[in-house]
Structure 1
């Protein structure tokens, strides 16, 4: 049998933690926290959080501004509805196309970096190993452990190139997520956000429709900001109010410009 590995020195590793308070319940809660972090990390790495926030928020702001700009120019309700629908479709398609190209390009660049790393390995494995060990030492490992870890990484049967790239440069081909998933989600979320300020114009028109658009968009902005703040742990109220202020400022500017443009045209 091998020499037993001594237990961790908790007084050094976790000086604020009392081992006497250790329990199965606390272990289970810690496991739950780690699982939640893992799920969030997957969404962040896959771009779903970014796509969701950008999609809904852009839909809300863009279409509200378009609707208010045209309404400020005293356009008819039919014109405003057509403008809103055109803005919804055009914006959703633009978001989807932009996200697809962006994510696809990011994955292609990462794959190209993996190929370059393979070429470097073919030219001189010691150079790559030295770089890996150096990067691991920069992250806190001692020299012996870093050397052993770098050898383990390059000898792994699967994922050696991607793991090496992630250690050396902090990026990977899978970080951006699926281009199709990001594009579809961006399209749907933008359309959902853009539909909110447009809905009142299918029920009423004029001043009541403008007021209703502002109210429902403000509520939706507060909800989006609150959910984002809650998910980030930085406070739902602060994030919700920030989101509302952005929407309010943008809508005020476009409504005023619509008034000026409408008066100039008339």
Structure 2
């Protein structure tokens, strides 16, 4: 019997993408290109290891881009623009390159749809999850570098907004004249800013002194080659730093072996007593200045209506609206830096601020009624 020469009709049919799939894949492709561009723009503003890491992330996004190009085939079409969020991130990366961009990229990586998309590979989904952790680590470096002064700035601004709004509303509700409210608000601004600045200076200085007291003495490393290897007292150091006895003995023995060898060869002592990396707390003066300035900038907002001659209920409403907008702004900034939800954080700030000011206003009303 003559073998059939017909083509194999059992081969799997080629998947023809639906219009919805083509649109989704093209959107993925545009977002991958935008994210790769963001990482390259951030890398252009960095040096050393951080630059290499960011370029590595850009390369990974380019691999994902090729996956969608292959799936789309002749449906690729003209390059689409990325999402509004991606374009905004690109603009920020090109012009600022700040830790806020990394925090936003962290959120973008966390929202990757690849885990639930059958046309994305498991490796791509895993990549996106690891990218989130890489960006989180890079953002943490930036957060730590600015932690002290930023904390003082945020706390100072919010304290100024809430405390002076509460003070102004409470005094206004008691029925006194606008000039008294204005004088009280200015006094609250100055007293609070000076108190915040002094308190922040003492707090940061004390924290730095505590950290310095916890840092191992650098001179101790020079004594390591002289230790008795049999007594192995270096193990006590590692146990005090948190290792269990067996792990401490093992590490100390390894370090002592290397130290004695280097000492014998006159190559100098090895650095075995490493200082822990502490959270950056900023300088006392820097934190105090930030706290003073930002408290003052927040505290001046509630008295703006009175500075411009408004009185009574109109001044109270305008002050509350101005402070409310400022609270929403500070909540959004903190959320962007921390990678949290801007809406949730902004509403939390607003609720806390208005709650404190509202309670004081009610007390002012009661106090004014009792006086009358």
Q: Could you tell me the TM-score, scaled by structure 1's length?
A: 0.72
Choose from 259, 267, 270 the match for 1:155.
Answer: 270
- The 3 A distance-change label for structure 1 pair 29 and 255 is closer
Choose from 151, 164, 175 the match for 1:74.
Answer: 175
Choose from 41, 51, 55 the match for 2:152.
Answer: 51
**Cα pair 1:92 1:191 within 8 Å, conserved:** yes
For 2:290 and 2:178, the matched residues in 1 are separated by 30
Is 1:260 the counterpart of 2:366? The answer is: yes
By how many angstroms is 1:50 displaced? 1.7
- The 3 A distance-change label for structure 1 pair 34 and 109 is closer
Q: How does 1:1-266 map to 2 (within 5 A)?
A: 34-44=137-147, 47-114=148-215, 126-132=232-238, 135=241, 148=254, 155-156=270-271, 160=273, 163-164=274-275, 166=276, 172=278, 175-203=280-308, 204-266=310-372
For 2:339 and 2:321, the matched residues in 1 are separated by 27
By how many angstroms is 1:255 displaced? 0.4
Larger displacement relative to structure 2 (106-115 or 56-65):
106-115
For 2:257 and 2:162, the matched residues in 1 are separated by 51
**Cα pair 1:95 1:190 within 8 Å, conserved:** yes
**Cα pair 2:301 2:323 within 8 Å, conserved:** yes
- The 3 A distance-change label for structure 1 pair 240 and 152 is farther
- The CA deviation string for residues 229-260 of structure 1, in whole angstroms up to 9 with x for no partner, is 12211200000111111011111110011111
Gaps of 5+ in 1: 1-15, 22-26
Highest RCO, 1 vs 2 (Cα 8 Å, sep ≥ 6) = 1
**Cα pair 2:166 2:361 within 8 Å, conserved:** yes
By how many angstroms is 1:32 displaced? 6.7
For 1:38 and 1:32, the matched residues in 2 are separated by 10
Gaps of 5+ in 2: 1-114, 116-120, 125-129, 260-268
For 2:135 and 2:238, the matched residues in 1 are separated by 32
By how many angstroms is 1:131 displaced? 3.2
Larger displacement relative to structure 2 (177-186 or 105-114):
105-114
For 1:235 and 1:94, the matched residues in 2 are separated by 32
Normalized per residue, the structure richer in helix is 1
SS in 2 for 1:177: coil
- The 3 A distance-change label for structure 1 pair 77 and 152 is farther
Q: Number of paired residues?
A: 233
Q: Could you tell me the TM-score, scaled by structure 2's length?
A: 0.53
- The 3 A distance-change label for structure 1 pair 40 and 110 is closer
**Cα pair 1:62 1:194 within 8 Å, conserved:** yes
| Cα RMSD after superposing both structures | 3.9
